């Protein structure tokens, strides 16, 4: 419940239309920079969506990123700037040309692309004028946002904590706005249709996301009812907050370490605030994406060292590069594969390309001087791969020592995500310092069910006897060898899965940081 | 110069994510690459130009000029004809 806020949607108005001769060069530069900034923000949002499993939404951002870098768009805008049009006006004009072209196409889908190109060029223009494109900069007090529709790029620009909920005329439970609301932890009432028109003048709006209703300018009784509801919700959240910094233990006294999965070093601070006791999975792919060259050893070292220092003595598990034929890597000869998820990826690629793998291992060894780093190898299917990877780690250490570089201790473990690794767990445990079970892929490979296929929802579930049997076998092997067994897939953060995982012998849970307090509560109540 | 005719695979034609992935792949080649459909010829590295160019089942020609023209044509023709996952 809160004041109503109606963002001024539509295209930004250029501050000026024309520029002088001597503003051309700076204008070209400013345009290039603004397009880069927008591309960066878009791909960041896309990555976040992908990490939270919204592959389809992430694809839209991929398309938007390509638009900001479109060579035809760029040269058309540059030409207009050279003809003394202001950069902000030029990019809008070119966007409008393409939008008109799409809108004229005899195809509903293509006509909708007109909105995409308007959205992207509008963002670049707004960036050039140093402001957000959706009028959300005017949102200074936490409010309920009312709009006909909200594009993902718009919801992403809402200042943190300022949206209490969304009410939109368009949309459904599975549309962008609903997904964004869930990831922001706020209620949304979508698809209200024409009823929105009447609500736009409201001073105050109360929304009940559970029931899917919105009440404009509520009377005193309604206000009281909503206040009771939101107090109850706040109390639930506050009760969870108490668990942020506890050490989770079951009633039998079994200590379960609760850690965070991170996609970049910048997330470290938030994760610590949520109560992360370490990092159970630090994905390194972000260093390799959206660029034309490979990250240098030094660049990688800086990123690993940042997360190592942020966590101090707490353990941080760095997973070596896990990409395959579905993502292009500059300088690596990747053939297009029929089945990238069953292809040349993870440790398979790393072992075949020492030029790629060695700099990563060296960077991890060097960064380990600044904290408690461990290294984990993805997609391992047999002990030979683990031995080869460890040999390369050893070789890298020897090289660094000869060079006189400072290094730290780095334990090496295996990500258990192929059924083969789970079945060979006893053998792998002899050579591993720890196991981490990647349930998302383990489910996909065990049940032969593509993670991204909507129709296979029923099979995208770690709570399947076959998967549970593999987890049990992995944990037993770990226990026999005296090494820890963690879980770093989505199952680790699911309240209904946590008791089962612990019963199977899991000693460590790693998840998206916001799920940590609830997971600690679930563990403490076992 | 190299060229190859192929048939568009994805259900909704060249658009959105497949378009983005096609353009990404095209940018990986140093050759100049164009897609030809009927009398239209567009820059294959421009997502805006290729969007809406053709629908599933329609024939297009990929044409490339440059050092890696052969590889570009082969890879991109295959990509554009692949069914959407």
Q: Is residue A366 packed enough to be buried (19+ CB in 10 Å), middle (13-18) or exposed (0-12)?
A: buried
**Contact flag A70-B28 (C-beta cutoff 8 Å):** no
A117 chain-B contacts, CB cut-off 8 A? 48
Tell me how many residue pairs between chain A and chain B have CB atoms under 8 A apart: 58
- Averaged pLDDT, A141-145: 87
Winning range, highest mean pLDDT, from A197-211, A372-386, B5-19: A372-386
Q: Per mean pLDDT, which range of A194-208, A504-518, B48-62 is the poorest?
A: A194-208
Q: Which has more pLDDT, A10 or A30?
A: A30
Tokens of A6: 């109606």
A72 chain-B contacts, CB cut-off 8 A? 43, 46, 48-49
- Averaged pLDDT, A108-118: 77
ipTM of the complex as predicted: 0.88
Question: What is A136-233's CATH number?
Answer: 3.50.30.10
Say what the pTM is. Answer: 0.57
User: Could you tell me where the DSSP H helices lie in A8-54?
Assistant: 24-51
A102 chain-B contacts, CB cut-off 8 A? 51-52
pLDDT in tens, A411-464: 999 999 999 999 999 999 999 999 999 998 999 999 998 876 767 878 888 999
Rounded Cα gap, residues A153 and A45, in angstroms: 8
Nearest alpha-carbon partner for A341 in A437, A264, A445: A445
The dihedrals phi and psi of A144, each to the nearest 5 degrees, come to -90, 125
Chain B stretch 53-82, residues whose beta carbon is closer than 8 A to a beta carbon of chain A: 55, 75, 78-79
The pLDDT score that the predictor gives to residue A323 is: 84
Nearest-by-Cβ selection for A66 from B47, B55, B79: B47
**Contact flag B16-A60 (C-beta cutoff 8 Å):** yes
- Averaged pLDDT, A369-391: 97
How does the average pLDDT of chain A come out, rounded? Answer: 87
The pLDDT score that the predictor gives to residue B85 is: 42
The pLDDT score that the predictor gives to residue A169 is: 81
User: Quick one: residue A225, left, alpha or beta (phi over 0 = left, psi -120 to 50 = alpha)?
Assistant: alpha
Please, which pLDDT band fits residue A326 given cuts at 50, 70 and 90? low
Range of the domain at B43: 2-81
pLDDT of A151 strictly over 80: no
Please, which pLDDT band fits residue B18 given cuts at 50, 70 and 90? confident
What percent of chain A has a predicted confidence (pLDDT) above 90?
Answer: 49
Mutation target among A56, A63, A335 for the B interface, most CBs of B within 10 A: A63
The pLDDT score that the predictor gives to residue A171 is: 65
Q: What is the CATH number of the domain that holds B64?
A: 3.30.1340.10
Q: Which has more pLDDT, A282 or A134?
A: A282
pLDDT in tens, A399-408: 999 999 999 9
Q: What is the DSSP letter of A249?
A: B
pLDDT of B45 strictly over 60: yes
The pLDDT score that the predictor gives to residue B35 is: 94
Winning range, highest mean pLDDT, from A174-188, A463-477, B69-83: A463-477
pLDDT of A396 strictly over 50: yes
pLDDT of A262 strictly over 60: yes
Q: Which has more pLDDT, B55 or A358?
A: A358
- Averaged pLDDT, A484-494: 91
Please, which pLDDT band fits residue A11 given cuts at 50, 70 and 90? low
Residue A265's CB is within 10 A of a number of other CB atoms, namely 21
Please, which pLDDT band fits residue A325 given cuts at 50, 70 and 90? low
The pLDDT score that the predictor gives to residue A179 is: 60
The pLDDT score that the predictor gives to residue A142 is: 86
| Separation in Å, CA of A336 to nearest CA in chain B | 8
Please, which pLDDT band fits residue A500 given cuts at 50, 70 and 90? very high
Rounded Cα gap, residues A148 and A177, in angstroms: 11
- Averaged pLDDT, A131-139: 65
State which fold the A243-524 domain adopts: TIM Barrel (3.20.20)
**Contact flag A105-B52 (C-beta cutoff 8 Å):** yes
Please, which pLDDT band fits residue A183 given cuts at 50, 70 and 90? low
Class for domain A8-128, per CATH?
mainly alpha
Closest chain B CA to residue A292: B28
The pLDDT score that the predictor gives to residue A131 is: 65
Domain ranges of chain A: 8-128, 136-233, 243-524
Please, which pLDDT band fits residue A73 given cuts at 50, 70 and 90? very high
Q: What is the DSSP letter of A255?
A: B
The pLDDT score that the predictor gives to residue A174 is: 47
Count of domains in chain B? Answer: 1
Please, which pLDDT band fits residue A83 given cuts at 50, 70 and 90? very high
Rounded Cα gap, residues B23 and B45, in angstroms: 5
Q: Is A59 on the interface with B (CB under 8 A)?
A: yes
**DSSP for A319-330, written as a single string:** EPP---TTS--T
Cross-strand partners of B13: none
Rounded Cα gap, residues A257 and A457, in angstroms: 29
The pLDDT score that the predictor gives to residue A472 is: 97
């Amino acid at each position: 419940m809160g004041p109503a806020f109606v963002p001024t949607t539509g295209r930004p108005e250029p501050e000026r239309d024309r520029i002088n001769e001597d503003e051309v060069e700076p204008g070209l530069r400013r345009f290039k920079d603004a397009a880069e900034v927008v591309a960066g923000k878009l791909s960041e949002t896309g990555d976040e969506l992908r990490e939270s499993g919204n592959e389809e939404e992430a694809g839209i951002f991929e398309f938007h990123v390509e638009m900001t870098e479109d060579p035809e768009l760029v040269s058309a805008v540059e030409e207009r700037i050279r003809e003394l049009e202001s950069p902000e006006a030029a990019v809008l004009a070119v966007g409008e040309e393409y939008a008109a072209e799409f809108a004229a196409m005899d195809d509903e889908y293509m006509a909708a692309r007109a909105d995409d190109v308007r959205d992207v060029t509008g963002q670049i223009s707004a960036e050039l004028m140093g402001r957000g494109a959706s009028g959300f900069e005017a949102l200074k007090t936490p409010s309920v946002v009312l709009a006909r529709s909200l594009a993902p790029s718009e919801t992403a620009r809402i200042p943190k904590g300022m949206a209490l909920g969304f009410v939109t005329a368009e949309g459904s439970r599975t549309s962008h706005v609903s997904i964004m609301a869930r990831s922001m932890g706020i209620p949304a009432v979508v698809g209200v249709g024409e009823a929105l028109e009447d609500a736009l003048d409201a001073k105050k709006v109360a929304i009940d996301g559970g029931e899917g209703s919105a009440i404009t300018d509520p009377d005193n009784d309604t206000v009281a009812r909503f206040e009771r509801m939101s107090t109850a919700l706040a109390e639930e959240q506050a009760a969870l907050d108490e668990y942020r910094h506890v050490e989770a233990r079951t009633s039998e006294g079994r200590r379960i370490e609760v850690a965070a999965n991170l996609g970049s070093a910048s997330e470290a601070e938030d994760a610590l605030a949520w109560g992360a006791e370490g990092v159970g999975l630090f994905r390194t792919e972000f260093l390799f994406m959206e660029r034309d060259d490979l990250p240098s050893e030094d660049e990688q070292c800086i990123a690993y060292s940042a997360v190592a220092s942020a966590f101090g003595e707490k353990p941080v598990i760095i997973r070596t590069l896990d990409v395959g034929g579905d993502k292009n890597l500059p300088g690596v000869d990747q053939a297009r594969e029929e089945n990238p998820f069953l292809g040349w990826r993870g440790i398979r690629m790393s072992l075949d390309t020492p030029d790629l793998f060695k700099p990563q291992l060296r960077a991890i060894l060097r960064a380990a001087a600044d904290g408690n780093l461990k290294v984990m190898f993805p997609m391992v299917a047999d002990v030979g791969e683990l031995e080869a990877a460890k040999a390369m780690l050893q070789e890298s250490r020897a090289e660094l020592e000869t060079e006189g570089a400072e290094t730290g201790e780095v334990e090496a473990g295996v990500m258990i995500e192929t059924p083969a690794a789970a079945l060979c767990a006893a053998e792998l445990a002899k050579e591993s310092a720890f196991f981490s079970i990647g349930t998302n892929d383990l489910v996909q490979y065990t049940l032969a069910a593509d993670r991204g296929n909507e129709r296979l929802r029923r099979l995208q579930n770690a709570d399947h006897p076959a998967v549970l049997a593999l987890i049990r076998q992995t944990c037993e092997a770990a226990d026999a060898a005296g090494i820890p067994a963690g879980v770093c897939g989505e199952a680790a953060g699911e309240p209904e899965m946590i008791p089962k995982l612990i019963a199977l012998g899991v000693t460590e849970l790693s998840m998206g940081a916001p799920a940590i307090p609830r997971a600690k509560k679930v563990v403490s109540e076992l | 110069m190299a060229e190859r005719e192929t048939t568009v695979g994805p259900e909704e034609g060249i658009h959105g994510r497949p378009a983005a992935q096609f353009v990404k792949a095209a940018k990986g080649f140093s050759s100049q690459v164009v897609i030809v459909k009927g009398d239209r010829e567009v820059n294959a590295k421009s997502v805006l130009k290729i969007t809406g160019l053709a629908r599933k089942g329609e024939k297009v020609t990929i044409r490339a000029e440059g050092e890696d023209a052969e590889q570009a044509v082969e890879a991109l023709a295959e990509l554009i004809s692949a069914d959407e996952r």
